[in-house]
Amino acid sequence: MADELPLSEHTLKGKAAVLLVLSREGGDLRLLLTRRTKTLSAHAGEVALPGGKWEAGDADLYATALRETWEEVGIPPRQLVRVAALKAERTRRGVEVCPFIAEWGTPGELQLCQHEIESAQWFDLEFLRRDQRVCTQVFPRHSPELWAPVYEIGGYQVWGLTSRVLVSFANDYLGLSLNRQHSAPEEIFTG
């Protein structure tokens, strides 16, 4: 699990945060994933976790994750219980993204921001436990080399940074051992 993050504006500027929102259904944990609208200038149509870039009014990166979750899917911050922070990940463009885990104790109806979010779905964590990936993306131009499994679940294709965050969550929080080696083919990205 990640350590607490620094609070100075200088160290937070340019960073981002995402929130792995968990809820329980019959004792089983479920995870919220969103699909961004196709009209956005960045990450259009991608499957993602609620989140975004730090803004000057955010006290820290967890506050960023809470604000973005409220804006994107309408979950009030006061209804979320912080569980943990995961290690930061970097996008292929070098933006540091800090993932947090929070549980929504009594889930209500989601209120999607129609400008940003096309849809949102809850997924049982079994897809991570089974690790039935379509392929493994490999980005050799990065040091250390980045890799991410690609999952197709419920009409969503999960890949890239979101998938890398889910690997960290699965290994550090769920106690799984997801790794690059898998029977699924590898897809090498050289660009």
In a domain, 17, yes or no: yes
Q: Which domain holds residue 166?
A: 9-188
What value, to the nearest 5°, has the Cα angle with vertex 65 and ends 38 and 8?
125
**pLDDT, average across residues 157-179:** 96
The tally of domains found in the chain comes to: 1
Mean pLDDT for all residues in the chain: 91
In a domain, 132, yes or no: yes
In a domain, 1, yes or no: no
pLDDT digits (tens, 9 = 90+) for 145-162: 789 999 999 999 999 999
CA-based torsion, 191, 11, 87, 52: positive or negative: negative
Is the pLDDT reported for residue 5 higher than 50?
A: no
In a domain, 42, yes or no: yes
CATH number of the domain within which 20 lies: 3.90.79.10
In a domain, 4, yes or no: no
- When pLDDT is cut at 50, 70 and 90, the band that residue 7 belongs to is low
Is the pLDDT reported for residue 90 higher than 60?
A: yes
In a domain, 170, yes or no: yes
Q: What is the dihedral of CA 160, 19, 68, 50, to 10 degrees?
A: 40
Q: Quick one: tokens of 33?
A: 């994933």
Cβ count near 134 (within 10 Å):
15
In a domain, 3, yes or no: no
Q: Quick one: tokens of 186?
A: 């590898």
- When pLDDT is cut at 50, 70 and 90, the band that residue 43 belongs to is low
In a domain, 167, yes or no: yes
**pLDDT, average across residues 73-99:** 94
